[in-house]
Amino acid sequence: MNFRPHPHDEPEINLIPFIDVLLVVVIFLMLSTTYSKYTELQVNLPLADAEQQRDYPREVIVAVSSDGRYMVNKTLVEGRGIEALASAMASAATAGKDSVIIISADANATHQAVITVMEAARRAGLTQITFATQSAAQAGAR
């Protein structure tokens, strides 16, 4: 009979695989998490600190009122349809396809009215679109 005590090996905890697994989990969570807060979204447009707007011959300025009426280069467009707006924009584009459409929409204009201008520009073959804003100083002066 062997009554000698057996040497007990102390269990060894290896932390390196544990840390590797935790890092993979953290990276996965960072990549799959979205940080958008839709419930706190408050949009108040348009304001921007930009340089003074200049008048160039390549520009076609399309104004959108809050009630959905359109003006192309200070000429009222009869009707509110895409086709009427597209033909007015095409005739006002003196530089052809190189013309730049500047959408100057009222802050209270509907999103659909602005999308209608963009769709009319696409149908007229005008692809360069930008938006006009007013600076915070100009908005405070009103």
Structure confidence by residue, pLDDT tens digits, 67-84: 888 988 888 888 878 898
Query: What's the Rg (C-alpha) of the chain?
Result: 31
| Of 22 and 42, more confident | 22
Give residue 133's identity as a one-letter amino acid code. Answer: T
Task: For domain 59-141, give the CATH number.
Answer: 3.30.420
Rounded to 10 deg, the angle between the 82-92 and 111-123 helix axes is 60
Q: Taking the model in full, what pTM does it have?
A: 0.57
**What would the two tokens of residue 122 be?**
């696409």
How many CB atoms neighbour CB 84 within 10 A? 15
Residues 4-39: pLDDT tens digits? Answer: 777 777 778 888 989 999 999 999 988 887 665 544
> Residue ranges of the domains in the chain?
59-141
